[in-house]
A and B are shown apart, each in its own frame.
Chain A
């Protein structure tokens, strides 16, 4: 399967009975001078294509680290992560970047939009990086912003948008290349309940309509409740993967 093509990742005939995300024995340790923190300890779990999975657990349990390691944003010390059958550790930095640009989307708690770019340009960035022409990028970005209900805010800078609107732009950016997987780290963490509800509605709609795979890290029981499965973590270990299995 060619890397860097989101559509192909979804349409290559990957069997729906095979996991799109597979983590086996993942270990991650942080060392800072004398302090050693074992953030992930021999974690294994899988996500099926089109699934919407919530990773939940108390603060410091390793949820975000797991998301970072599985999405290739961070390295792992031991174990393996494969996405659609491809081992992340075999990819070069450039290949991984291409992979992120075309096959993955990220939504962060604090929106993380680029402050000097307008909403439109923020969404255009991953499109251009994935090889779209400037014109194509402009059209597609406009469509995505329309999809998240911000068609009339395209030229606004992030500072000129509300928190909910910024998160919508971030979702539009994550969806820009129609990625197979969307990673969301506390997507409603900074929003009021109304906005949080709207955002979750949007994500669920995408999951149902486009069959994109969602992995959400959250504290929120409400968010967890709308997902297909909840993976529970504690002290760097998966204590319940929602399928009735644990690593502990």
Chain B
């Protein structure tokens, strides 16, 4: 996974690791300054071994949840990624006919192929261009009486295989398509072979509009690259382009041209996008784009587009907000720029613009856009590999968000547990703490002592929690993999990145350390005499809070739920069409939770043991319950 809640995982891991190092270094320096306090803290750990083990087990809960959520996100993301890579193989950019311009005939003639080849012939980024036919047709094996109704049937131009030669035979060797030059031959992929129960040498039947034809299977290859199938159809059969053109009655025609970019994936992502934009500009009709530019460059349209952008969320979709943003910015210029042309050719962006024009309700304006929109491009260019990978990233992030939101309840419980564990730990050592204070120790020394002890527990808990989180995620991915059957053509494999492990470990350690610090502060506020006598702090006379403190407590108790109420009200008011429903949901549901937790924790400290302020206390408890109710409503 590359991002978590919109933040780059590398950045997140770096920041959290930095935070962890800072926490550890600060604690270490403080400890070295006063070794007696360190001894006091550390010697308590082995004093009660069973208790220490229980504390570590209790503390690791939040780390375990974070680690398993991240590992599952990584697995989902990488599984989808590898499915995308298998499906598109070496293809980085795909050029297809814009259906709107051709009224249903989406085939291209040789001239388009020539134009593309000429455009990239000296381009060092490109290592192959292949014209193809991809259709879905039924195939059957009469010998076994098995049929696959929708098979991805691919017609391959055998003299254009440079850059697309990554086929792999089932025996591990490289797949060879040259045999397709012979008449009536076919290469099938593993999925189709399984479904048809077909072996090399078998005859399979292709059912086409022009009639049936029989083809001998000359090789069976893995579901990768040209034989990777399509999004929903993993069964694929490869024919020579001439064979398929003949069967379909499309001599000399293709329905797509694919371009392969050199280099490994991490390097070619930027190149693919650049190349797609450059190729798209080649196939844009300048007159049509100019007409669209002039039609859209009116204050009314720009304002309406800006309003749609501001709405965000499902109104613009996860991938089109940047493109629409570019488009609106480019409308400020005097003439259509390349950026404008690229933005307006994005089909989703064009659809959003169409929707906005329709909402404006000006029929003349709508009509003036129809013809230029249909003539805008001769070929639609898409960086399909990058698009697929972006979808994989989005789904992976969504899964992590989902797990994190549900897991956040457990994390909060875990943090509360840490707080209680430390308060109870302190309660068991009240007399000792009273003595330590009596001989001249300051409050901050007590906080330090508990922090040293807590950090040791935290490190143990973070390590153990990370390990258990990994084990839990292996089990969960196994279960999820079992639920997604092989027939769905999706191979769910376990994967976890180093960044995720660093994030889970550091986040677990930092969260635990913060909670330990808060509980240590709470613990340090003891009455020395009462502590030395080993009595409860309820024997300490409370200070009567001021009116201002009471009001502050009430506001704090109300503040948390208000965030949820406001967030939900906004969602409802905008008809659930806010800027980014998922983002807002996360903002409402996830971000305030840790803040609320500490606000309420502080409340607990302030209200604890007071014989007064019943109203405030009731509000405090009410406030604690409200967020859960609202989250339930939102979900």
Contacts and interface: CB of A to CB of B under 8 A. Distances in A.
Chain B associates with chain A: yes
Interface in A38-95: 68, 73-74, 93-94
A126 B439 contact: yes
A102 B440 contact: yes
Contacts of B441: 97, 101, 125, 129
A147 interface: no
B440 A124 contact: no
A97 B529 contact: no
A24 interface: no
Given A30-B539, A30-B541, A31-B541, A129 B47 contact: no
Nearest to A98: B440
A40 B436 CA distance: 26
B439 A117 contact: no
A116 B528 contact: no
A125 B449 CA distance: 13
A17 interface: no
Contacts of B432: 114-115
Nearest to B440: A101
B36 A124 contact: yes
A115 B43 CA distance: 10
Nearest to B434: A112
A116 B538 contact: no
Contacts of A113: 435
Interface string A8-26: 0000000000000000000
Given A97-B441, A116-B43, A74 B435 contact: no
A97 B440 contact: yes
A97 B437 contact: yes
B527 A114 contact: no
Nearest to B445: A129
A121 B38 CA distance: 12
A191 interface: no
B527 A74 contact: yes
Contacts of B436: 114, 125
Contact of B40 (A102, A108, A112, A114): A114
A97 B438 CA distance: 8
Interface string A97-110: 11111100010100
A73 B179 CA distance: 96
Nearest to A112: B435
A243 interface: no
B44 interface: yes
Given A112-B435, A114-B432, A124-B36, A130 B532 contact: no
Contacts of B538: 32
B347 interface: no
Contacts of A193: none
B39 interface: yes
B44 A97 contact: no
A99 to B, nearest CB: 8
A39 to B, nearest CB: 11
A183 B36 CA distance: 24
A102 B442 CA distance: 13
Interface string B442-453: 110100000000
A29 B47 CA distance: 38
Contact of B440 (A30, A114, A121, A129): A129
Contacts of A99: 440
Interface residues of A, number: 34
Given A116-B40, A125-B36, A94 B442 contact: yes
Contacts of A112: 431, 435, 438, 532
Given A73-B528, A97-B437, A108-B532, A116 B34 contact: no
Contact of A128 (B36, B43, B528, B541): B36
Contact of A100 (B44, B439, B532, B611): B439
Given A30-B539, A114-B40, A116-B39, A73 B440 contact: no
B35 interface: yes
Given A112-B431, A114-B432, A173 B36 contact: no
SS class, residues of chain B in contact with chain A? helix
Which of B40, B438, B532, B539 has the most CB atoms of chain A within a 10 A radius of its CB? B438
A225 B541 CA distance: 36
B47 A116 contact: yes
A100 B435 CA distance: 12
A186 to B, nearest CB: 13
A136 interface: no
A134 interface: yes
Contact of B36 (A29, A32, A98, A121): A121
B388 to A, nearest CB: 60
A94 B524 CA distance: 13
A173 B439 CA distance: 9
A101 B445 CA distance: 13
A126 B440 contact: yes
Which of A73, A94, A113 has the most CB atoms of chain B within a 10 A radius of its CB? A73
Contacts of A134: 35
Nearest to B43: A116
A32 B528 CA distance: 17
Contact of B39 (A97, A101, A117, A126): A117
Contacts of B39: 116-117, 121
Nearest to A64: B529
Interface in B15-60: 34-36, 39-40, 43-44, 47
Contact of A101 (B36, B439, B611): B439
Contacts of B442: 93-94, 97-98
Nearest to B531: A73
Contacts of A108: 435, 532
A126 B44 CA distance: 20
A175 to B, nearest CB: 12
Contact of A73 (B43, B431, B438, B541): B438
A234 to B, nearest CB: 21
Contacts of B34: 128
A212 B49 CA distance: 43
Which of B39, B440, B443, B528 has the most CB atoms of chain A within a 10 A radius of its CB? B440
Contacts of A93: 442-443
Contacts of B44: 116
Contacts of B437: 97
Given A33-B611, A116-B43, A100 B438 contact: yes
Contacts of B541: 29-31
B43 A74 contact: no
A125 B439 contact: yes
Contacts of A173: 439
Interface string B573-599: 000000000000000000000000000
Nearest to B35: A134
A128 B40 CA distance: 13
A121 B443 CA distance: 20
A188 B43 CA distance: 30
13 contacts: A31-B541, A32-B539, A97-B437, A97-B441, A98-B440, A102-B440, A116-B40, A116-B43, A116-B44, A126-B440, A129-B439, A134-B35, A137-B36
Given A114-B432, A128-B36, 4 more contacts: A73-B528, A97-B440, A125-B441, A129-B445
Question: What 3 A-B pairs have minimum CB-CB distances, sorted nearest first?
Answer: A101-B440, A116-B43, A100-B440
Interface of B: 34-36, 39-40, 43-44, 47, 431-432, 435-443, 445, 527-529, 532, 538-539, 541, 611
